[in-house]
C-alpha cells in the first residue's frame, strides 16, 4: 500500500503540473477566442485526433500494452536464475523479451501511422461535414483546413503512448505523466506566439501549437526510456508472440473506447446546431470537470493497472481485490469533495479564470450551467477508470465494452430527449447520468468477489466517513461563499476554497481516513522502478 500510495502521489503531482499548464492554456484560449465560431471549428478539427488520442495514449493501446509487457517482464524475472556480474547487464537480460515486444510494436506503428495520417488528410472534406452538420459553409471550410493541419498529431501521440506504457509498466510513472506538459506548452505558444502571425485567422496558430505540443510529448519521454534500460531495435518480422495477445486485448478495448467516443461525437453534432459557442461551452465545462478527474482518478487507475496485472500473473487474488478496494476509497477521498466544491464555486471559478478578453459574462453563465451538470458524474467516472483497469488486467475486456455500449445508448437517448429544452446543459446532464450507469454496471459485476474480502467492512466505513466529511465541507464552504458574495471575485473563490480544504483536511486527520493519507508519507528517493508492486 505504501508503494502504491507513493506512485499515486507522484502521478498526481506530475499530472497536476500538467493540468496547471492545461489551465493556463485554457485561460489563454478563452482570452483570445472566447466562445466563438473559430474555436468551435478548432474543436471539431481536433475531434478525430483527440478520439485517436483517447484510444491510444489514454486508452486501448496503453491499457492493453501494460498487462502484456508486465507479464513478459514477470516471466523474464522468474526464469532468470543465473546471477549477472553487472547489475546493468542483469537489467538488460531480464527485460530482453519485454523489450523485443515493445520494439516490435513501435516498428509496426512507424509503418502504419504515415498511411493513417495521409488518408486522414486527404479525406477530411468527406468526414468533417458529418461531424459538424450544423456549421455554415465558411465555418465548415475553416474546420476542414484545421483538421488537415492537426491530423499528424495522431502519429506523434500514438508513439508517445507506447513510450508511456513502457514507463508505467516499469513504475516510472512520473516521467510518463509529466509528458503532457509539453502538449500544453505547445498550445500556449500557439495562442501567444504563433497566432498573432496569422492576423486573418489566428486560430491557425492554435492548430500549429497543438502539433508542436504533440512532438514535445513524444520526445520528452526518451531520456526516461534510456535510463530504464529500453533500447529500440527496428523489427517487423517475425511478429513477437506478445503482439497477438496485445491484439486480443486491444480489440474489445478499442471498441469500448470507440463506443464511448460516440458520446462526444453526438454531443458535438447536436451542439453544432445551437449556434456559435455551443461546442465551446461544452469544452470549457469539460475542462474544469476533467481537472480533478485527470489529476487523481487517472493517476489512481494508472498506478493500479500494473499492480492488477502483476497480482493476477502471480495468482494473488486477495492482493488483486485489496488493490481494487484501495482504488475505490482513494478515488472517493478526492473526487467527492471536488464534486462538492465545483457545485458551490463553479460559477465563480469560471468568472475568475475565463471572463476576460473575448469571454463574456453571458459565456460564464452558459458554461457554469454545463459544469454544474457535468460534475454530477465526477465520482462515477473516477470509479469507471478503476473498474475498467481491473477487468483489463483480468483479461475480461468484453465487460468494459458491454458497459460502454449500455452507457452510450443511455447517453444518446438522453441527449435527444434533453437538448431541445436544456440546450448544451442537457448534453452535459446526459453525459453525467451515463457515467453513473457505467459505474454501477461495472461495480455490480465486481461486487460478488469484492464482498467476500475481509476488507469490505473497512471499505464501507471509509466511504461513509468520506460522505459525512463532504457534507460538512459543503455546508461550511457555502456559508463562507455567502458571507463574501459581494466581494471581489478572487475572494469569492479563494476564501471558501481555503475553508473547505482546511475543514476537510482536519476532518480526515481526526478520522480513520488518516491511515490512508498517512501511507503517502514515504521515502521519495527510493527507486521502485524495477521492483514488483
Which residue, 44, 304, 268, is CA-closest to 150? 44
CB distance 62 to 260 below 8 Å: no
pLDDT tens digits for range 344-362: 999 999 999 999 999 999 9
Q: State the pLDDT at residue 326.
A: 82
Secondary structure E strands in 111-258: none
Count, residues in the chain: 533
C-alpha count within 13 angstroms, C-beta hemisphere, residue 258: 7
166 closest CA partner among 247, 214, 110, 106: 106
Q: Are 436 and 379 in contact (CB under 8 A)?
A: no
Rg (CA), the chain: 23
> Is residue 303 in a domain?
yes
DSSP sequence for 67-99: HHHHHHHHHHHHH--SPPSSHHHHHHHHTHHHH
2-33 and 180-189 helices, crossing angle to 10°: 10
Q: What is the pLDDT of residue 212?
A: 95
531 in any annotated domain? no
* CA proximity to 389, closest of 344, 434, 331: 331
Distance CA 400, CA 398 (A): 6
Let me know if residue 526 belongs to a domain.
Answer: no
Residue whose C-alpha is closest to residue 438's, from 470, 473, 399, 477: 399
Could you tell me the sign of the dihedral formed by the alpha carbons of 306, 309, 310, 311, in that order? Answer: positive
**What's the pLDDT tens digit per position in 116-138?**
899 999 999 999 999 898 898 89
Q: Terminal CA-to-CA distance of the chain, rounded, Å?
A: 9
Residue 426 belongs to what H/E stretch?
helix 424-450
Q: Do residues 231 and 223 touch, judged by C-beta distance below 8 A? A: no
Residues 6+ apart with CB under 8 A from 44: 128, 131, 132, 135, 143, 146, 147, 268, 272, 279
Residue 18 cell numbers, joined? 500538467
Is 530 a domain residue? no
Residue 55 confidence (pLDDT)? 67
Does residue 524 lie in a domain region? no
Judged on CB neighbours under 10 Å (0-12, 13-18, 19+), 387 is buried
Range(s) of the domain holding residue 470: 2-518
Low-confidence residues of the chain, pLDDT below 70? 1-9, 11-12, 55-63, 74-95, 253, 256-257, 260, 450-455, 516-533
Give per-residue pLDDT as tens, 471-516: 999 999 999 999 998 888 889 999 999 999 999 999 998 988 887 6
Residue 529 lies in a domain: no
Considering the domain boundaries, does residue 527 fall inside one? Answer: no
Structural domain count, the chain: 1
pLDDT reported for residue 77: 58
Please report the pLDDT score of residue 426 as a whole number. Answer: 95
Q: Are 142 and 41 in contact (CB under 8 A)?
A: yes
Spatial distance between the Cα atoms of 282 and 278, rounded to a whole number of angstroms:
7
User: What pLDDT is stored for residue 341 in this prediction?
Assistant: 93
Amino acid at each position: 500500500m505504501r508503494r502504491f500510495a507513493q506512485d499515486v502521489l507522484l502521478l498526481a503531482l506530475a499530472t497536476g503540473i500538467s493540468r496547471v499548464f492545461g489551465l493556463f492554456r485554457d485561460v489563454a484560449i478563452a482570452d483570445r477566442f472566447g466562445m466563438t465560431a473559430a474555436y468551435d471549428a478548432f474543436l471539431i478539427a481536433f475531434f478525430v485526433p483527440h478520439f485517436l488520442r483517447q484510444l491510444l495514449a489514454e486508452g486501448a493501446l496503453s491499457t492493453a500494452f501494460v498487462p502484456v509487457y508486465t507479464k513478459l517482464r514477470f516471466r523474464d524475472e522468474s526464469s532468470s536464475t543465473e546471477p549477472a556480474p553487472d547489475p546493468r547487464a542483469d537489467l538488460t537480460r531480464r527485460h530482453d523479451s519485454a523489450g523485443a515486444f515493445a520494439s516490435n510494436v513501435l516498428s509496426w506503428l512507424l509503418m502504419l501511422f504515415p498511411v493513417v495520417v495521409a488518408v486522414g488528410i486527404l479525406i477530411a472534406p468527406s468526414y468533417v461535414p458529418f461531424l459538424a452538420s450544423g456549421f455554415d459553409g465558411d465555418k465548415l471550410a475553416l474546420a476542414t483546413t484545421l483538421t488537415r493541419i492537426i491530423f499528424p498529431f495522431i502519429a506523434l501521440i500514438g508513439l508517445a503512448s507506447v513510450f508511456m506504457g513502457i514507463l508505467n509498466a516499469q513504475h516510472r510513472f512520473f516521467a510518463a505523466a509529466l509528458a503532457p506538459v509539453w502538449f500544453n506548452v505547445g498550445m500556449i505558444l500557439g495562442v501567444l506566439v504563433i497566432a498573432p502571425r496569422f492576423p486573418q485567422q489566428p486560430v491557425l496558430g492554435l492548430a500549429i501549437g497543438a502539433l508542436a505540443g504533440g512532438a514535445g510529448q513524444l520526445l520528452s519521454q526518451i531520456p526516461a526510456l534510456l535510463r530504464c534500460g529500453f533500447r529500440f531495435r527496428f523489427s517487423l518480422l517475425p511478429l513477437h508472440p506478445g503482439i497477438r495477445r496485445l491484439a486480443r486485448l486491444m480489440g474489445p478495448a478499442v471498441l469500448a473506447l470507440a463506443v464511448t467516443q460516440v458520446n462526444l461525437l453526438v454531443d458535438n453534432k447536436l451542439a453544432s446546431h445551437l449556434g456559435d459557442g455551443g461546442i465551446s461551452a461544452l469544452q470549457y465545462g469539460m475542462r474544469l470537470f476533467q481537472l480533478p478527474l485527470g489529476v487523481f482518478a487517472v493517476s489512481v487507475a494508472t498506478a493500479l493497472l500494473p499492480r492488477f496485472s502483476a497480482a493476477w500473473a502471480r495468482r494473488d487474488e486477495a492482493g488483486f481485490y485489496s488493490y481494487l478496494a484501495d482504488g475505490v476509497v482513494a478515488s472517493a477521498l478526492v473526487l467527492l469533495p471536488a464534486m462538492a466544491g465545483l457545485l458551490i464555486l463553479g460559477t465563480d471559478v469560471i468568472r475568475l479564470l475565463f471572463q476576460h478578453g473575448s469571454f463574456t459574462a453571458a459565456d460564464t453563465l452558459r458554461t457554469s450551467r454545463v459544469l454544474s451538470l457535468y460534475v454530477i458524474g465526477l465520482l462515477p467516472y473516477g470509479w469507471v477508470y478503476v473498474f475498467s483497469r481491473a477487468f483489463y488486467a483480468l483479461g475480461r475486456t468484453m465487460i468494459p465494452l458491454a458497459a460502454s455500449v449500455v452507457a452510450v445508448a443511455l447517453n444518446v437517448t438522453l441527449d435527444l430527449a434533453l437538448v431541445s429544452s436544456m440546450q448544451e446543459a442537457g448534453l452535459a446532464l446526459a453525459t453525467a447520468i451515463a457515467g453513473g450507469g457505467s459505474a454501477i454496471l461495472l461495480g455490480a459485476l465486481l461486487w460478488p468477489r469484492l464482498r467476500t474480502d475481509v476488507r469490505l467492512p473497512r471499505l464501507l466505513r471509509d466511504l461513509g466517513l468520506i460522505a459525512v466529511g463532504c457534507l460538512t465541507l459543503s455546508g461550511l464552504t457555502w456559508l463562507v461563499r455567502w458571507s463574501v458574495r459581494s466581494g471581489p471575485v478572487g475572494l469569492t473563490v479563494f476564501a471558501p476554497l481555503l475553508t473547505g480544504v482546511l475543514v476537510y483536511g482536519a476532518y480526515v486527520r481526526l478520522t480513520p481516513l488518516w491511515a490512508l493519507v498517512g501511507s503517502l508519507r514515504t521515502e521519495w528517493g527510493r527507486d521502485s522502478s524495477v521492483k514488483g508492486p
